[in-house]
Structure 1
Amino acid sequence: MPFAEYHEDARNVRTPFVHGSAGSNNLFVVLCVLVVALGPIQFGFTCGYSSPTQVDMIRDLNLSISRFSMFGSLSNVGAMVGATVSGQIAEYFGRKESLIFAAVPNIFGWLAISIAKDSSLLFMGRLMEGFGVGIISYVVPVYIAEISPRTLRGTLGSVNQLSVTIGIMLAYLLGLFVNWRVLAVLGVLPCGILIPGLYFIPESPRWLAEMGMIEKFEASLKFLRGPNVDITMEAQEIQGSLVSNNRTDTLQFGDLKRKRYWFPLMVGIGLLVLQQLSGINGVFFYSSNIFASAGISSSDVATFGLGAMQVAMTGIATSLVDRSGRRMLLILSSSIMTLSLLLVATSFYLERVVSNDSDLHQLLAMLSVMGLVALVIGFSLGIGPIPWIIMSEILPPNIKGLAGSTATFLNWFTASVITMTANLLLNWSTSGTFTIYAIFSAISVVFSILLVPETKDRTLEEIQASFIR
């Protein structure tokens, strides 16, 4: 059924999910979010794939450690390219078409890896996966923010990061039971289900309004809110906000000096960059060594346990973000990360300088593990999911494409730098490395206290109006 006909019919459709009550209407929005959440599950699966497959891939394809490391890092390279064009694609084609555009190279990328006989197909497939993931990482939080009621926007926005952690955990879990080729075939499933699933959900009403498709905009908004809900006020608010922003549609570089532009851009970029400067990727890179030093023999199982804990804590954050607010969770999260990183740094420092007391060394190793667990808890509670939510909420519509692409690119670029430098820094000084990460986490605390606005219980239009005032 064509999109326009689908939404025209949707005006009169009566399903178990749409009967005019807030609960049933919200349930349909939740179902829309669950469909697009397949994208970040793919994101997480891509991130987690290389960990359980390293030994077998190196053996089967006769790869060197350096070539396998290149295979792992190419997803970041592809993601940076995808992030660079993600905003422009989302603005030109719409949110749904952009996700299809991202899903197709992901599918072909996984198939290329599954049949690879040498590193050339591996590298090509990994780049294709990364390109799709770069687009997904921007488009999904934006789509969720644009369809969600303001009272649920934080909770539903957190589903993005929750899905990423589920994808990572699934890669770890399935990697314990199947070989790397079968795991690559399983990697096709999220995007393979996403493409037909997108056919049954509406396009973002805000994007339709921005494109001047007023009838489709009203049909989409009505479909999301329910046939018995009066959408007049919300529709007028959305259109009024777009009219206000369209006055400066031909944005000049000098316009960025105005607070309504530079402030949300600075907050969005700052949070996404600080998220990675906390060193979370570097810490996960070293987690197996920490587990080994604590006497935990099966590092793969322990790493899966860490991934499962991350899913559980992100789930808790999902339930809290619309109750406690974004800003408070960011401050709490960054504070926990700072203290836990300092605990790990201190443990490694003391382990290096104290005498050869085996009992003391074992105690310090266990403290390192406790610090790592606390770090994952802290990251999952706030600094993991919330920067993506805030980025999707605060960027003005007329610069959202370019600004969102820039913020997403810088997030991926910083993640790449952290991943590439982690091993060098850890060889230089383990305690020094974790101290550096702790300093950046402390900066996140100050940044959140001084600069991050609270967006809880405010419509996207109210948030934009606050920057204008």
Structure 2
Amino acid sequence: MDIRKNKFTYFAGISANLLTYGSGLGYGWASPALSKLSGHVDPENNPLSSPTTVTQESWIASLLSLGAMCSPFLTAFLSEKIGRKKTLLVFVLPTIISHLILIFAKRVVDFYVARFLIGLSTGCAITIVPLYSAEISQKHNRGAIGALVIVMLASGHFTASVVAPYVTIRTFSALALIPSGLFLIVFGIFVPESPYFYILMDDKRGAKLSLEKLRGTENVGEELGEIVKSVEELKSSERDNLRELFTSSYCLRCLFWSVALIFFQQLTGLIYIVNYTQKIFESAHTPISEEIAVMLVTLVQITSILVSTQILDRVPRRKLALLSLTSILVITTTMGTYFYMQKHHFNLLHFTWLPVLCLMVFILSFNMGICPISYIFPGEIFQPNVKSLGVNLVMCVGLFWEFAVASFLPALSNRFGFDVPFWVFTGATCFGIAFVGFSMPETGGKSFLEINESLRYKE
């Protein structure tokens, strides 16, 4: 793979993912900001007149997920009507408005609105950016450009963990406007619409110009012909996709497998750990500062995502998911035991380093197995005519459970102790291991046709 020969394609992919980077900033914002809003850190710069309650914190943390849950079907519809590029440009506006609200926020409700708005942009980013990336890329670089989504999301999270603890909420919100502004300028002015969308609109000239710009050559006739053929086959197979998704036994089984996998992925507790990393370390009395511990965890997140792109196609999906979930089970059990013993006043003075190590291993295990697999898997098993609908539905279900975990687990930990959420994650992960081991079909190393035929053979 020679990046120099496809430099504008990579430029377009990175430009589109500036929106995803902004979403990563939104996810990473929660941990340091909640510590400040609750008065535990930097109370003199709290924009609120009084510290937040646990309930208010859980809503501030979780409303991003609720906003993201509302986006996929709307953005998918718009992307078919006005194009992938225009849809992305429209949905960067909620992020910009969100940060402007946060700069001047003085009431809890301001934070609610801002977090919901950035969630709308996040839902668009995780739905349309992968679609746009796939449609502008080629066979030899589709994996690398597609992986930019999770890399940029993690990079935004890491940036927030490095910067946000050391500046005020207002300052960080002002800084967070920069990638959104860059996205509007760079992606809006220099990057073309997807050639696939032009063909969907019967605009071959527009598709040709788009391909010429993306490839840096006028010799795009063969690729243009392949796109035309692909779109024509898609149009010829169109039927009542919604009805088929919920009546076909094959589609229902695919839906069950996909929804179950995303459910167990969310119930490992990642969103809870992401939102409350700093508070977890504060409660654990770690030997290094909470801010440094959070940075270490997010740095591991980026590293593990980069490594996962190299091993996903080399290790069977089911084996990798089992290894990931088993490691997570060990970690959540260890964390639950640690906080249980701390709650009952055991002497843990010599083990305060353990939570930092555990969460680093948790992030490593999560991002190298169950996380990417649960997002790749639905796109591999749904048949082409219901794939978009099925994947978006699975995404919404996943975001619903992300919202539920972020909303209710903080109250549970506040009332019963920090160990209780980790026991919940441990129990769910046990069921997840059983599901993957006994029910989840293997898709690694198979073409879409081979996957479809092997699953239909089991009917």
Alignment TM class, shorter chain as reference: 0.7 to 0.9
Which of 157, 160, 168 is residue 179 of structure 1 equivalent to? Answer: 168
**2:261 pairs with one of 260, 271, 277:** 271
Matches within 5 A, 1:34-433: 34-54=14-34, 56-57=36-37, 59-66=46-53, 67-198=56-187, 199-221=189-211, 223-225=213-215, 227=217, 232=222, 235-236=225-226, 239-240=229-230, 242-243=232-233, 246-251=236-241, 253-254=243-244, 256-258=246-248, 261-292=251-282, 293-296=284-287, 298-324=289-315, 328-349=319-340, 358=347, 361-391=348-378, 395-396=382-383, 398-426=385-413, 427-428=415-416, 430-433=418-421
TM-score (norm 2): 0.82
Contact 2:58–2:410 under 8 Å retained in 1: no
Residue range with higher mean Cα deviation, 175-184 or 314-323: 314-323
Q: Supply the AA of the counterpart residue of 1:379.
A: F
- Give the SS at the match of 2:162: helix
What do residues 29-67 of structure 1 show as CA deviations (whole Å, max 9, x unaligned)? Answer: 322221112111111111122332345556332144134
TM-score (norm 1): 0.81
The alpha carbon displacement at 1:260 in A equals: 6.0
State how far apart, in whole Å, the 1-side matches of 2:143 and 2:177 are.
29
Deviation at 1:407, TM superposition (A): 2.2
Q: Distance in 1 between matches of 2:410 and 2:295?
A: 21
> SS at the partner of 2:397?
helix
Secondary structure at the residue paired with 1:384? helix
Code of the residue aligned with 1:424 in structure 2: it is A
* Structure 2 gap ranges (5+): 39-45
Runs of 5+ consecutive residues of structure 1 not aligned to the other structure: 1-20
Aligned to 2:41: none
RMSD: 3.5
Separation (CA, whole Å) in 2 of partners of 1:102 and 1:321 = 31
Percent sequence identity is 23
Q: Is the Cα contact below 8 Å between 2:99 and 2:174 reproduced in 1?
A: yes
Could you say if the C-alpha distance between residues 127 and 153 of structure 1 is closer, same or farther in structure 2, counting changes exceeding 3 Å?
same
The Cα shift of 1:258 comes to 3.1
Aligned residues: 444
CA contact (8 A) 1:225 1:231 kept: no
Alignment partners' CA distance in 2, 1:117 and 1:378: 39
> Which residue of 1 is the match for residue 423 of structure 2?
435
Paired position in structure 2 for 1:4: none
Amino acid of the structure 2 residue aligned with 1:62: S
Distance 1:271 1:222 in 2: 40
Q: Which amino acid aligns with 2:425?
A: Y
> How many Å separate the matches in 2 of 1:306 and 1:442?
24
CA contact (8 A) 2:208 2:224 kept: no
The answer to whether the Cα contact below 8 Å between 2:23 and 2:156 also exists between their aligned partners in 1 is: yes
* Bigger Cα displacement from structure 2, 320-329 vs 176-185: 320-329
1:12 equivalent in structure 2: none
**Separation of aligned partners in 2, 1:235 and 1:266:** 36
Secondary structure at the aligned position of 1:281 is classed as helix
Cα distance in 2 for residues equivalent to 1:151 and 1:144: 13
In structure 1, how many angstroms separate the alpha carbons of the residues matched to 2:386 and 2:140?
A: 25
